[in-house]
Amino acid sequence: MRIGVLCLPTDEWPVWVERARRLDELGFHHLWTFDHLSWRHYAGRPWHSAIPLLTATAAATSRIRVGTLVASPNFRHPVPFGHELMTADRISAGRLILGIGGGGTGWDATALGQRPWPPPERTARFTEFVSTLDTLLTQPETSLRGTYYSAENVRIVPGCVQQPRIPFAIAAVGPKALRLTAKHGDAWITTGRGKTGDWRTDLADQWQIVEAECEKLGRDPAGIDKILVTSGIPGRVTADIDEFDDFVVELEAYGFTDVVFPYPRSDDDNYDDPPEIVEQIAEHFLR
């Protein structure tokens, strides 16, 4: 089981980079941050941009992978975003993961002055966004005209270090996004939320959709990594090391390859787990 850490992009660089280097030294497999313009009750508080922060993090570390949790079409266009991703992948020496999702209805959805997209349009934009990014990052030159996104003679040179492109980790709950995961995803990101409210049942139901679509596409679903972010699981699985250990054992039985937990924060009730849990997880799982 690969283990990653979600760090909110709120701290100044000296604090952030010290933490990132320690996580790298401890052997954590990946470090993630939110790709929002702002988020919930952090509005008006320090909040840094994900891609520059992750790029600098990769340059300041040696091994740990870095990823967005998650980018969305809400305030991005695939052409400039594709250039940013290629550059970040090259600076990181091939350690970038694109966590990508359909976006929500919060502040990001209207920050550029647009109307909030209704769910069908949001899904359609997401599908086209992912497909366009895939083309931009794998073809030597791209010209296309879509419903929402277009490109004219775009060359993203010299291209990604990781081939055929950086891995796409697609956050998906609904059937359309899950089918998109089967088509374009190198990994599936989930928080365990779903229709029934029981994370075990919902995960099984969601993965069945991915498997069914993979069968139609002639793709082996075993080639898609399964990443669970613990913040959506009821209770606190990182409250102590024994509980986390039990949770990881159960996740492995469900075929999950990766788990991501939030870095403890004393200033946020949602993430106020014991700070020593980070070192305990490293000692228990990574050494």
Mean pLDDT of 206-229: 98
Confidence of residue 287 (pLDDT cuts 50, 70, 90): confident
Confidence of residue 190 (pLDDT cuts 50, 70, 90): very high
Confidence of residue 222 (pLDDT cuts 50, 70, 90): very high
Q: Can you give the pLDDT at residue 39?
A: 87
CA–CA distance, 172 with 184 (Å, rounded to integer): 12
- Residue % of the chain over a pLDDT of 90: 87
Confidence of residue 73 (pLDDT cuts 50, 70, 90): very high
Q: What is the pLDDT of residues 159-173, one digit of tens each?
A: 999 999 999 999 999
Q: Are 7 and 32 in contact (CB under 8 A)?
A: yes
Distances (CA, A) of 28 to 1, 69, 131, 202, 246: 11, 16, 31, 27, 19
Paired sense of beta strands 187-190 and 168-171, if any: parallel
Place of tokens 């840094």: 48
Q: Can you give the pLDDT at residue 207?
A: 97
CA–CA distance, 205 with 133 (Å, rounded to integer): 28
CA–CA distance, 83 with 155 (Å, rounded to integer): 9
* Phi, psi dihedral angles at 243 (to 5 degrees): -65, -40
CA–CA distance, 244 with 86 (Å, rounded to integer): 35
Confidence of residue 38 (pLDDT cuts 50, 70, 90): confident
CA–CA distance, 86 with 167 (Å, rounded to integer): 11
Confidence of residue 96 (pLDDT cuts 50, 70, 90): very high
Q: What is the pLDDT of residues 172-182, one digit of tens each?
A: 999 999 999 99
